């Protein structure tokens, strides 16, 4: 990372205002970039951009390389002439401008995108043909995967007919011919996604805004990645998982967390010179300027759970690839801007891996005030920060500052007030003081969730881990991007030399 102080905002693309039910790469995204520039910011951090599956989590995607078709701007397609405003306005995306209705997106958006594809004469577009050639290393398998998934009514690939589940050549040939136009439709959506995202990113970069992207450590079992390259994962001869991912039992969960992703066969990856990982990370750097690697500790040691277990209680730790992977990445790709997400319980070996990598790690203020830490020694307290780190008030997985301060224990609230030396302020003022505390720290980079700048409570929370149904939905309203808040953000950025 650059040693220049900087600051930015965490806001998922899905949370942008838009006319059609979910944030996308349309005019509101460009207006948000302009807003960040006027607010004195230099970074926009987003969540993973992959196509989402059951549960709508961007961390459980059908592909680590593909983009989410929901983010394709329908307004841009109207301007192209492949859709009409009347068609888009007639679609029912729900009436709540503060929340994404993913079911409505699924039911309505693909019908519109299919119409756009059928009117596009896309095979006459030389840019599309070039895109298909250049991205073939992932695009062909992904497009076939999604088309076959449609043929099997959306079922996971583990429930497909044996011939295509195991990728027998005669089955591959059959479905490539049988589903030719469905496959081409998938390629069309990826072309439009990357075309529109490329323009938006270029606009942001021209305005001095760098994009911080996010890469989950694991891929979903129901993904083109696992289906097309089963040897890269701990799967048996029938391509069923042997072990899956998760976290062990701790103070927050007696049975741990069962994520269920297939685990990597690290011996195979290492023998290939980590070729798949290098392609994956190189692909990310065509999309983002800075890359946050989620669950960094999994590269030191990862938690393995027997497949079929209903909890994580019977898992065990195994060694990951460590610095071998990151040395290979550096050797092939050169020095890149990477952030190590090292939150949670950190062993000394994980801390050493972070130090050896040289990547800045994360410090979260909400983790700093724990009544069990009586020695003021928390790594999350600003007086303990090194410069080479990224400070957050909270992340997408945490409560908003307002709700966090309301819900912590009286002793912890007293710890916050003592640290701020502020014994009178209300919750809203304390939240603002914590933002200033983060901005004023020595950390080279400070990222604040948009919800915290707005002083919102947990009704605007993005995700509550280990829950389903209410996550990833919050959306920003246009009127919340006020001139008053923008001026305040810029004043703080200037005050704290960011």
Catalytic residues, by residue number, are: 294, 341, 397
Burial of 192 per CB tally in 10 Å (0-12, 13-18, 19+): buried
* CA atoms within a 13 Å half-sphere pointing along the CA-CB vector of 176: 10
CA-to-CA separations, 48 to 1, 72, 230, 396, 466, in angstroms, rounded: 20, 15, 23, 12, 18
CA–CA distance, 186 with 117 (Å, rounded to integer): 9
Q: Where are the beta strands (DSSP E) in 225-384?
A: 243-247, 257-262, 290-293, 301-306, 316-319, 338-340, 361-364
Q: Where are the beta strands (DSSP E) in 325-477?
A: 338-340, 361-364, 389-392, 445-449
Which strands sit side by side in the sheet containing 316-319, from one edge to the other? 257-262, 243-247, 301-306, 316-319
Count Cβ atoms below 10 Å from residue 213 Cβ, excluding itself: 20
CA-to-CA separations, 180 to 126, 162, 177, 184, in angstroms, rounded: 19, 21, 5, 6
CA–CA distance, 47 with 215 (Å, rounded to integer): 8
CA–CA distance, 201 with 297 (Å, rounded to integer): 29
Residue 44: enclosing H or E segment and its boundaries? strand 43-45
Virtual torsion, Cα 103, 104, 107, 113, nearest 10 deg? -120
Residue 8: enclosing H or E segment and its boundaries? strand 6-10
CA–CA distance, 243 with 440 (Å, rounded to integer): 44
The length of the chain is 498
CA–CA distance, 11 with 24 (Å, rounded to integer): 12
Cα angle vertex 482, ends 57, 94, to 5°? 40
Query: Closest Cα partner for 77 from 162, 165, 196?
Result: 196
Residue 430: enclosing H or E segment and its boundaries? helix 427-439
């Amino acid at each position: 990372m650059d040693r220049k102080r900087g600051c930015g905002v965490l806001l998922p693309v899905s949370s942008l205002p838009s006319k059609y039910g979910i944030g996308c790469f349309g005019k509101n995204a460009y207006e948000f970039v302009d807003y960040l520039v006027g607010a004195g910011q230099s970074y926009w951090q987003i969540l993973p951009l992959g196509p989402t599956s059951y549960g709508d989590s961007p961390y459980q995607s059908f592909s680590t390389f593909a983009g989410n078709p929901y983010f394709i701007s329908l307004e841009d397609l109207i301007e192209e002439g492949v859709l009409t405003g009347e068609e888009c306005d007639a679609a029912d995306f729900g009436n709540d401008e503060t929340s994404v209705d993913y079911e409505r997106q699924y039911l309505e958006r693909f019908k519109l995108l299919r119409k756009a594809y059928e009117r596009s004469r896309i095979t006459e577009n030389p840019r599309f043909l070039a895109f298909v050639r250049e991205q073939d290393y992932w695009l062909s398998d992904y497009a076939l995967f999604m088309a076959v998934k449609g043929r099997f009514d959306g079922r996971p690939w583990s429930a497909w007919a044996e011939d295509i589940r195991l990728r027998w050549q005669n089955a591959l040939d059959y479905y490539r011919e049988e589903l030719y136009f469905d496959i081409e439709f998938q390629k069309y959506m990826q072309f439009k996604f990357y075309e529109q995202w490329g323009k938006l990113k270029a606009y942001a970069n021209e305005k001095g805004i760098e994009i911080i992207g996010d890469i989950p450590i694991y891929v979903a079992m129901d993904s083109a990645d696992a289906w097309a390259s089963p040897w890269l994962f701990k799967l048996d001869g029938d391509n069923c998982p042997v072990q899956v991912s998760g976290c062990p039992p701790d103070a927050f969960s007696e049975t741990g967390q069962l994520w269920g992703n297939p685990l990597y066969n690290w011996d195979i990856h290492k023998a290939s010179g980590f070729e798949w990982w290098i392609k994956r990370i190189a692909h990310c750097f065509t999309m983002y300027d800075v890359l946050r690697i989620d669950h960094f500790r999994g590269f030191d040691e990862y938690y393995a759970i027997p497949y079929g277990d209903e909890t994580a209680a019977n898992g065990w730790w195994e060694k990951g690839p460590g610095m071998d992977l990151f040395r290979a990445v550096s050797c092939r790709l050169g020095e890149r801007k990477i952030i190590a997400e090292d939150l949670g319980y950190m062993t000394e070996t994980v801390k050493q891996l972070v130090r050896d990598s040289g990547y800045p790690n994360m410090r979260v203020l909400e983790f700093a005030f724990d009544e069990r830490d009586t020695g003021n020694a928390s790594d999350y307290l600003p007086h303990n920060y090194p410069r080479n780190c990224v400070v957050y008030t909270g992340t997408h997985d945490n409560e908003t500052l307002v709700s966090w301060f309301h819900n912590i224990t009286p002793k912890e609230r007293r710890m916050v007030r003592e640290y701020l030396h502020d014994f009178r302020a209300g919750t809203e003022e304390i939240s603002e003081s914590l933002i200033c505390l983060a901005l004023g720290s020595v950390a080279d980079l400070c990222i604040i969730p948009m919800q915290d700048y707005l002083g919102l409570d947990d009704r605007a929370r993005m995700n509550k881990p280990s829950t389903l149904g209410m996550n990833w939905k919050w959306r920003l309203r246009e009127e919340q991007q006020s001139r008053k808040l923008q001026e305040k953000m810029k004043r703080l950025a200037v005050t704290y030399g960011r």
